[in-house]
């Protein structure tokens, strides 16, 4: 089932021995469009420190409710490696987290129960919150900006980008399959997507995608 990531923000995270915070963000693998980590805002507990949670430790992978249970203790989470939400998340950062939690990294052959496909090489991880709001270009036209992502709750794979077209406040939401994304330009805050052969040429002259059209 596809679910809006935006609607998961603010969901409570409960460890085996008490509450740890709320869902603040997600890190996704831009090669395979798979969610690799949840970012928890610990609030007053750890003075608002952000911590990463591996999807493996969720009692139910990407549950749809407002309370998500984590199969870890508060102490284990408290002692986890720190992250800087304003800096790119490197492979070295990932290795520290997997080593700390005693789990085989998702990019190794030992990770038989990993969420999503194994990347062929080092993944490029990005924050969902950081990419939200990026402009979207299809061919030579800027059609709108990203306002949400639709994720498969069973596998954690992002299936669609929700793009706001037209006026920023009164525009319509349209869907672009993640597989249509050609590249992400972080310097220009822009996502470039391939035009669907079946709809190429149907994009109107005012650069807007008709409401509800799937590119």
pLDDT at 108: 84
Q: Are 13 and 19 in contact (CB under 8 A)?
A: yes
Span 113-139, average pLDDT: 76
Q: Residues 7, 111: one domain?
A: yes
Residue 92 belongs to a domain with what CATH number?
A: 2.30.30.240
Which residues of the chain form beta strands (DSSP E)?
Answer: 2-4, 12-15, 18-29, 34-41, 50-53, 67-69, 125-127, 135-138, 141-152, 158-165, 172-177, 181-185, 190-193
* Structural domain span for residue 35: 2-126
Q: How many domains does the chain have?
A: 2
Q: Of the residues 75, 98, 126, which one is the last residue of a structural domain?
A: 126
pLDDT tens-digit map of 185-208: 999 999 999 986 454 334 333 333
pLDDT at 213: 38
Q: Of the residues 98, 126, 154, which one is the last residue of a structural domain?
A: 126
**pTM score:** 0.82
Tell me if 212 is assigned to some domain.
Answer: no
| Total residue length of the chain | 215
Q: Residues 122, 51: one domain?
A: yes
pLDDT at 209: 37
Tell me if 89 is assigned to some domain.
Answer: yes
Tell me if 137 is assigned to some domain.
Answer: yes
pLDDT tens-digit map of 17-67: 999 999 999 999 988 999 999 999 999 999 989 999 999 999 887 766 678
Q: Residues 160, 80: one domain?
A: no
Checking if the pLDDT of 120 tops 70, the result is: no
């Amino acid at each position: 089932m596809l679910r809006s990531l935006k609607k998961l923000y603010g969901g409570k995270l409960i460890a085996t021995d008490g509450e740890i915070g709320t869902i603040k963000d997600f890190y996704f693998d831009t090669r395979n469009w798979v969610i690799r980590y949840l970012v928890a805002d610990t609030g007053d507990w750890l003075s608002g420190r952000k911590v990463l949670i591996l999807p493996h430790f969720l009692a139910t992978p990407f549950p749809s409710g407002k309370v998500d249970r984590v199969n870890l203790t508060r102490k284990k989470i408290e002692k986890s490696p720190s992250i800087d939400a304003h800096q790119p998340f490197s492979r070295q950062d990932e290795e520290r987290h997997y080593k700390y939690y005693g789990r085989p990294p998702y990019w190794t052959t030992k990770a038989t129960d990993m969420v999503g496909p194994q990347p062929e090489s080092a993944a490029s991880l990005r924050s969902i919150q950081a990419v939200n709001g990026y402009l979207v270009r299809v061919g030579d036209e800027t059609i709108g900006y990203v306002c949400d992502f639709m994720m498969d709750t069973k596998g954690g794979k992002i299936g669609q980008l929700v793009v706001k077209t037209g006026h920023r406040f009164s525009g319509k939401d349209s869907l672009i399959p993640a597989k249509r994304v050609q590249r992400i330009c972080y310097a220009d805050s822009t996502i470039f997507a391939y035009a669907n052969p079946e709809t190429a040429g149907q994009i109107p002259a005012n650069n807007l995608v008709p409401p509800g059209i799937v590119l």
